[in-house]
A and B are shown apart, each in its own frame.
Chain A
């Protein structure tokens, strides 16, 4: 396990940002999902040692998050969410500077800066002043500085925010390349579900500072069956009985009911309840659960 944390609590004054969060992330790309304010960035900042957990602890790459922050930062790359750069520098100087700060020898850092800038597609503009970079270029540059010291683990905080579709695809392509072929573990924090679904196999979902779900995306999607149905008749009693069976029911704008059916529950029950409530089932389809559905289910938002 590259990241293991147990019972992490953290508060900003009276506001609880994280409560009892425990994680065990396997190798490969993992997504950190959650709505805004769920505690994703706070968790990453605790893992990096920017913030100190009020309670609980853990290890990143085997190093203690409270006592061995310097070691963690040596072997971890971080791509922050906000635009961040050092004015007056060009991309090569900027990237090699941060490589040096990671502990790389000066010449090696410079050589490596050229390599990673080439890798992220900034080779043409590597001598341009950073202040003249577009949002997409800055995003690539942030990725370059995160990998310049060849980290074993990279934290990517909203890597595609503010990018146009093409730029987004290019960044995602890079992330997939790094995580799948380069033996570097990636933890991507995002609220853009398709990005996570595309790049990650494992997901951690946070909601209101608490762990809502974690696991392999494909396994999580199978926890509950999703049925889509259209009904005719008085729906009140039908829906109540479904909810009594711990089903989560959502109604879409075009009148389709999405029923998340609990595991090990016989789906014939749906037809029995419909018959009892004199409901006509006019459309009944077992639907493919997407990450979006899973997210909506565990977080309780559409």
Chain B
């Protein structure tokens, strides 16, 4: 074995004091996610609903070119805040988001636990918050691509296709709703995913937990609903809570006859609980008592 042929030399550069020390974690997290072949193939498919909705916006402004569209279909093509709410809160989109966080988020902390790499991160000039921000930003990056960005693109394209500012003047608050609800969605899914990712060293188990708990809450809700027939039981369903908050943010009638605040508090409670567990689980050193 030949070592030191070239020898060790000192580095004469200067350390950067980064404004966002978590950025390398995010960049590598995104890169590692894209290294998975299946994800590379599947991720573009998650944009199909956005393309479809964009097509609807185009058609809605060119109805005269599509004379065969009549009746209820035309009503569906009415672009209003409800259109945006439908895109962001429909069950299928939430399912896609769930799939994306499984692919990009399940391994974010569990792999670090499995391969003892937390100590590598925390032996660097990083704080716990930098580590979490770096990991959260990976999830945020992928979810924004299918929530915030399409939402804003729809809004802009509606103005472009209509050729007037009438839509903007009618709903000037809509961009804020899109941003706000996208933040709530990504915030919730980020905490939910990282929390579950910190519970196990096995990424497959984490993936099952992410999927299982989400749909278990739905099953429990359905059982309770048939049993108690109360709208309050919707609070046990993650999907129902996300939809309830979404409907309120877009100024639509909420799907359940209870205050959206309850749903928001449930989601917030889950995030706070997840943050608390994450803080205690993620340490530079594993202490075996």
A→B interface (CB under 8 Å) = 12-13, 15, 45, 48-51, 70-71, 73-74, 76-78, 80, 82-89, 93, 97-98, 100-106, 108, 112, 115-116, 118-121, 145, 147, 149-150, 166, 170, 173-174, 177-178, 181-183
15 further contact pairs, Cβ within 8 A, besides A76-B123, A87-B115, A104-B16: A45-B284, A49-B284, A84-B115, A84-B120, A86-B28, A86-B115, A97-B24, A103-B17, A104-B11, A105-B13, A105-B16, A108-B11, A108-B13, A150-B11, A174-B4
Nearest CB of B to A112, in Å = 6
Q: B13 to A83, Cβ gap below 8 A? A: no
Most buried by B among A13, A15, A80, A147: A80
Report how far A15 CA is from B10 CA in the complex, Å: 42
Q: A71 to B125, Cβ gap below 8 A? A: yes
Given A80-B119, A84-B120, answer yes or no on A74-B287 (Cβ-Cβ < 8 Å).
no
**Chain B interface secondary structure, helix, strand, loop or mixed?**
loop
Q: How many of B's residues come within 8 Å of A, CB to CB? A: 42
Q: A86 to B119, Cβ gap below 8 A? A: no
Given A50-B283, A97-B28, answer yes or no on A177-B4 (Cβ-Cβ < 8 Å).
yes
Q: B6 to A115, Cβ gap below 8 A? A: yes
Q: B35 to A88, Cβ gap below 8 A? A: yes
* B138 adjacent to chain A (CB < 8 Å): no
Report how far A115 CA is from B289 CA in the complex, Å: 40
B→A interface (CB under 8 Å) = 1-11, 13, 15-18, 21, 24-25, 28, 32, 35, 111-112, 114-117, 119-127, 283-285, 287, 289
Q: Tell me which residues across on chain B come within 8 A of A76, comparing CB atoms.
A: 123
Choose among A74, A84, A118, A119 the residue that contacts B125 (Cβ–Cβ < 8 A): A74
Nearest CB of B to A160, in Å = 15
Q: B122 to A50, Cβ gap below 8 A? A: yes
Most buried by B among A13, A101, A145, A183: A101
Nearest CB of B to A277, in Å = 50
Q: B115 to A102, Cβ gap below 8 A? A: no
Nearest opposing residue in chain A for B127, CB measure: A70
Nearest CB of A to B265, in Å = 34
Report how far A120 CA is from B13 CA in the complex, Å: 21
Nearest CB of B to A195, in Å = 17
